[in-house]
């Protein structure tokens, strides 16, 4: 009895299976944050801005928008329609949103936090408006998400668009928000994101000793101090940040995926057009996909086993 090498079709079948596994494993789940600078119906009525913003958000499984001025929901609903039209022909994704109320100390500057998310890949399982208005001008609107597509199934996103003159105090107070939400949901997989104004004149190196998210080593700042998140180029400031708590959440993130998305470069549009949307660039990070094997279709497994048995029998 002599063992013979598997046939070419069998080799191709397993090669395809290996390629399928490898391809699916490296894909991830992108979370984005974008200060859209007074985003409301007037901006959304501009075709160029609507098109650019739709392209930015459509890259993300979850996208946090800050500095939204849209109490009636008209602009966000229009953006959702644009996003869903983009994908409905391909039968891929459908976006939904969850939004805070208008937040602020002045009627002339009330803003909202808005999360846009792909309903096919993630669901909202909880929301919580932090109510200590003495600590924040715009208190975080905290949302808990669940996804079967990520290694970390349940995670909490805490947004902050800080008041620049109170940036140090507000960033430090995020620790109190952290304590409140982990108690509320019994979940320590927490990510902070937004325009913290955590750089340049607003937060200096000496200020860090007064910020618990810096001094507590359980928090990891994924967007570094030397990164420039601004569009203008006249200054280089890491205003926009992403921070995660704990080793488990950190290990569930694709290494080096936290970055600025330079839409001027990626979309090949001039900075003057980018500035129509915002003077900030988005920041983003990618979570690792969940284990692949449960996602392989039963038919593919059956075909693989059948081919293997046929090859074995023919070798006898």
Domain of 306, in residue numbers:
8-25+298-316
**Which tens digit of pLDDT belongs to each residue from 184-237?**
999 999 999 999 999 999 999 999 999 999 999 999 999 999 999 999 877 899
With respect to residue 3, please indicate whether it lies within any of the assigned structural domains: no
Q: Give Rg (Cα) of the chain.
A: 23
With respect to residue 1, please indicate whether it lies within any of the assigned structural domains: no
Nearest Cα neighbor of 137 from 64, 184, 194 is 194
The residues with which 192 forms a beta bridge, in sequence order, are: 158, 243
Same domain, 144 and 185: yes
Number of structural domains (the chain) is 2
With respect to residue 46, please indicate whether it lies within any of the assigned structural domains: yes
Contact yes or no for 219/181 (Cβ under 8 A):
no
List all residues 6 or more positions away from 248 whose beta carbon is below 8 Å from its beta carbon.
152, 188, 189
Same domain, 135 and 161: yes
Q: Is 296 helix (H, G, I), strand (E, B) or coil?
A: coil
> Whole-number mean pLDDT of the chain?
87
Same domain, 263 and 201: yes
With respect to residue 2, please indicate whether it lies within any of the assigned structural domains: no
Same domain, 17 and 147: no
List all residues 6 or more positions away from 73 whose beta carbon is below 8 Å from its beta carbon.
99
Same domain, 21 and 87: no
The pLDDT value given to residue 235:
84
Nearest Cα neighbor of 170 from 192, 188, 189 is 192
Strands 154-159 and 141-146: antiparallel
With respect to residue 76, please indicate whether it lies within any of the assigned structural domains: yes
Same domain, 115 and 132: yes
Same domain, 217 and 312: no
Same domain, 69 and 12: no
Contact yes or no for 262/281 (Cβ under 8 A):
yes
Cα dist from 88 to 62, 63, 80, 306, whole Å: 18, 19, 12, 37
Residues 26-48, mean pLDDT to the nearest whole number: 93
Contact yes or no for 257/285 (Cβ under 8 A):
yes
Lowest mean pLDDT among 15-29, 72-86, 120-134, 180-194: 15-29
Task: Give yes or no for residue 282 having a pLDDT over 70.
Answer: yes
Same domain, 201 and 92: yes
Same domain, 169 and 51: yes
List all residues 6 or more positions away from 23 whose beta carbon is below 8 Å from its beta carbon.
none
With respect to residue 293, please indicate whether it lies within any of the assigned structural domains: no
Same domain, 228 and 267: yes
Same domain, 170 and 228: yes
With respect to residue 199, please indicate whether it lies within any of the assigned structural domains: yes
- Higher pLDDT: 90 or 30? It is 30
**Which tens digit of pLDDT belongs to each residue from 232-241?**
877 899 999 9
Cα dist from 212 to 178, 208, 294, whole Å: 11, 8, 40
With respect to residue 281, please indicate whether it lies within any of the assigned structural domains: yes
Q: What is the CATH number of the domain that holds 155?
A: 3.60.10.10
The pLDDT value given to residue 306:
54
């Amino acid at each position: 009895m002599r063992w013979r090498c598997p046939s070419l079709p069998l080799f191709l079948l397993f090669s395809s299976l290996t390629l399928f596994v490898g391809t699916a494993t490296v894909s991830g789940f992108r979370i984005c944050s974008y200060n859209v600078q007074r985003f409301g119906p007037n901006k959304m009525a501009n075709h160029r801005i609507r098109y650019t913003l739709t392209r930015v958000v459509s890259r993300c499984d979850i996208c946090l928008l800050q500095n939204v001025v849209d109490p009636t929901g008209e602009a966000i609903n229009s953006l959702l329609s644009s996003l869903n039209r983009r994908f409905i022909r391909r039968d891929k994704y459908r976006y939904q949103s969850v939004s805070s109320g208008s937040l602020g100390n002045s009627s002339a500057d009330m803003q909202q936090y808005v999360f846009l998310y792909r309903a096919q890949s993630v669901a909202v399982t909880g929301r919580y408006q932090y109510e200590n208005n003495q600590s924040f001008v715009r208190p975080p609107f905290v949302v808990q998400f669940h996804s079967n597509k990520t290694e970390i199934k349940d995670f909490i996103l805490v947004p902050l668009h800080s008041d620049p003159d109170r940036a140090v105090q507000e960033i430090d107070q995020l620790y109190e928000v952290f304590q409140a939400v982990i108690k509320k949901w019994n979940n320590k997989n927490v990510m902070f994101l937004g325009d913290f104004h955590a750089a340049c004149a607003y937060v200096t190196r000496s200020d860090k000793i007064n910020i618990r998210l810096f001094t507590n080593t359980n928090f990891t700042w994924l967007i570094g101090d030397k990164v420039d998140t601004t569009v203008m180029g006249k200054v280089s400031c890491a205003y926009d940040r992403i921070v995660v708590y704990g080793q488990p959440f950190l290990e569930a993130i694709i290494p080096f995926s936290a970055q600025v998305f330079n839409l001027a470069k990626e979309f090949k549009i001039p900075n003057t057009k980018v500035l129509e949307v915002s003077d900030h660039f988005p920041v983003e990070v990618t979570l690792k996909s969940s284990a692949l094997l449960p996602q392989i279709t039963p038919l593919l497994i059956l075909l693989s086993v059948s081919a293997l048995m046929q090859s074995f029998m023919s070798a006898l």
